[in-house]
Structure 1
Amino acid sequence: METLANLESFVRSAENGGFSAAARQLGLTPAAVSRNVAMLERNLGVRLFQRSTRKLTLTEAGERFLETVRGHLRGLQSAIADVSRDDEEPAGVLKVSMALTFGMDYLLPLLPEFLARYPNIRIDWDFENRQVDLISEGFDAAIGGGIELAPGVVSRPLAPAHIIAVASPAYLAGKDLPTDPSELLKFTGIGMRSVRTGRIRNWTMRNVAGQEMAAQTTDTLVMNDPEAMCRSALLGLGVALVAVPHASPHLESGRLVRVLPKWYADAGPISLYYATRTMLPAKTRVFVEHVVEAFKKQRLAQRFAGSLG
């Protein structure tokens, strides 16, 4: 009878294309994963992987075995998790990635209550405006928008990432306000360069009536960080197209105003990303639940909706 460790090592190695990535996901060493797979192959009397110095590929027998065993493995993990979940005390290092300003404004304030509930969890958070590889970089979770889903990762939407046009009252003083996005060409634009692609972002805006129109801007200033764009707008340097969460504190204080209050662009959801493993570590599971609960309690999905303007 094969052990669960051998089967899980095989499935994770197949899904991630290597022993090292599987080891990071399972919390083992690559050598341990390799030994588990070798033991499974020896017990079955068949080679499941073709090994080379650069990559790991399934044999024909390995592909058939993966299709057969994967669903059963998830069922076993789920059964084990259901039995043990109530008795498992969340503990360990919780490594999470998020953008600096968004994390400081909306995630960091959740920590006092979270750590009071789960005192055995230690926090290791990275504040970076980039997409991380959860599995290869060893993160338990990541929070952000527009992240491409890698194999073995799922997303849980938290709120919309709506893009709105904002400027300072001083910059707009004495100017004729635009009536639609095409008229943004008349203003100095503060553009956003994608950290991932290096390209300047272009937006199609829509209004509550369902009309759509390209936002025509002259990007005199280009930044690769939304907070820098907001700071530039606060200095009266032009009109910035930024996500509501970044603009919201400045809108509430009156230091920025919406230039086209009935128009917004949809950049997709702000999501919480984590591994698809059915048996999530308790520390990750309670973190996901805590964040989802807090976003609902604070009605952040509604507050981040540019369409409400």
Structure 2
Amino acid sequence: MEVSQHVRAILSFVEAADVGSFSAAARKLGISAAAVSKNVAALEQVLGVRLMNRTTRKINLTEEGAAFLSQARIALGALDSAVDNLVASKVEMSGHVKIATSAAFGREYLLPVLPGLFELYPGLTVDVDFDDRMRELIHDGYDIAIRGGRIVDSSLITRPVCRLKTVLAASPDYLAIHGAPQIPEDLTRHRLIARRFLGGRINPWGFKSQDGSLTTVDPQPAVLTLSAPEALVQAAVAGMGIAQIGIHHAMQYLESGQLKAVLLGQYDPGSYEMVIQYPHRTLIAPRVKVTVDYLLAAFARNPSLHFPEEKLTAYQFRQGDE
């Protein structure tokens, strides 16, 4: 049996299994019921097993037929994807993509990679909404959301970008004056910079105990409370106190020496993540698919989004760093 005959036979088998009869499958495929029956019989002959038990009223899959059906679906799906990808590569990609993301991530990471997207797909246009609120993608008309935090189960398709680790950091000048905390309890004697989320909740700081348990410290009363993550970095660099900062926000300041990490090994960096979400996998529009694929590849190449936590020891405050 030639490859084209294989495809026709497998398609006849899958359709017949789905609708439960050769005649119904024939109507969907636009061929005769006899042709469907002939295709399935030829497939069984090639495989050397019976796939279906036929009666005058219905067909039933054999055990071998049920096992083959799942593999056949995968094969047909791969074939469809190959055709779609080939067609997409031949047609100039165009259309409008609406993206929701946070202000900080949008400015620092999304905007710098958009020129590369336009270079690849000059027919695309993009509308980015910088908003830290969680948006309802479908209701609000967005194609893509780039979100950070503890991502809950969702009906949306979720593609991971990176883990969002945090660090406690302060400026060398601040630590030279006030000293570096050695244990979490020392924080009560320090000037703390707290993060307040839009709902009003103050983000607690987590710590690992020697027995493996986790404890939290409420950074209150804080000398300064801010809602924007990038503002936390700026306040810490200015010497206002100790702040909990995303490593991806703090990296350039740690590397330049403007910030120093404290309580490494005791501080729990959290289990936050950055993801790209969109409504559908199988019905995703080509303009959205190429945008998602491009952004995932671009973010994967950014070292500050994938900095190993264990390398933070190089940026830990040590006496004499002031």
Say which of 209, 216, 219 aligns to 1:217.
219
1:245-256 mapped onto 2 (5 Å cutoff): 245-256=248-259
1-structure distance, mates of 2:109, 2:86 = 29
Corresponding position of 1:87: 87
Unaligned runs of 5+ in 1: 1-73
Structure 2 counterpart of 1:165, one-letter code: L
1:274 corresponds to which of 274, 278, 283: 278
Q: Does residue 128 in structure 1 map to residue 134 in structure 2? A: no
Alignment counterpart, residue 202 of structure 1, candidates 201, 204, 226? 204
**Partner Cα distance (1:249, 1:144) in 2:** 22
Q: Which residue of 1 aligns with 2:189?
A: 186
For the 8 Å contact 1:207–1:264, the answer to whether it is kept is: no
Give the aligned residue type for 2:235. Answer: S
The 8 Å contact of residues 205 and 219 in structure 2, kept in 1 or not, is answered as no
In structure 2, the partner of 1:158 is 161
Secondary structure in structure 2 of the residue aligned to 1:200: coil
1:40 aligns with none
Tell me the CA shift for residue 158 of structure 1. 1.1
Please name the residue that 2:242 is paired with: 239
How many pairs are equivalent? 235
What residue number does 1:257 align with? 260
| SS of aligned partner of 1:173 | helix
Distance 1:240-1:116 versus aligned 2 partners, 3 A rule: same
1:104 aligns with 2:107: yes
* 1:289 has 2:308 as partner: no
Alpha-carbon deviation of 1:265? 2.1
Q: What SS does the corresponding residue of 2:84 show, helix, strand or coil?
A: helix
Paired residue for 1:298?
302
What are the superposed Cα offsets for residues 179-220 of structure 1, whole Å, 9 maximum, x if unpaired?
Answer: 23332222111111111x321111313499966442453322
Distance change >3 Å, CA 207–CA 103, structure 1 → 2: farther
For the residues of structure 1 that align with 2:77 and 2:100, how far apart are their CA atoms? Answer: 26
| Distance across 2 between alignment mates of 1:208 and 1:286 | 47
Which is higher, the Rg of structure 1 or of structure 2? Answer: 2
CA distance in 2, matches of 1:203, 1:96: 31
Pairwise CA distance, 1:294: 1.9
- What are the within-5 Å matches in structure 2 for residues 1-80 of structure 1? none
Shift of 1:105: 1.6
- Structure with the greater relative contact order (CA < 8 A, sep ≥ 6): 1 or 2? 1
C-alpha deviations, 1:238-287, integer Å up to 9, x for none?
Answer: 11112111212222222222122333421421111111341211121112
**3-state DSSP class of the match of 2:165?**
strand
Deviation at 1:82, TM superposition (A): 4.9
In the alignment, structure 2 segments of 5+ residues that lack a partner are 1-72, 313-322
Distance between the aligned counterparts of 1:142 and 1:287, measured in 2? 12
Cα deviation code 1:163-187 (max 9, x no counterpart): 2111111211133311233322221
Query: For residues 149 and 133 of structure 1, what CA distance do their matches in structure 2 show?
Result: 14
TM-score scaled by length of structure 1: 0.67
Equivalent position SS for 1:291: helix
Per the normalisation by structure 2, the TM-score is 0.65
Please give the secondary structure, in 2, of the residue aligned with 1:125: strand
Separation of aligned partners in 2, 1:208 and 1:104: 39
Shift of 1:156: 1.2
Deviation at 1:306, TM superposition (A): 3.6
1:23-72 per-residue CA deviation (whole Å, 9 max, x = no partner) reads xxxxxxxxxxxxxxxxxxxxxxxxxxxxxxxxxxxxxxxxxxxxxxxxxx
- Structure 1 residues 202, 216: closer, same or farther in 2, change over 3 A? closer
Residues 139/207 of structure 1: CA separation in 2 closer, same or farther (3 Å cut): farther
For the 8 Å contact 2:192–2:223, the answer to whether it is kept is yes
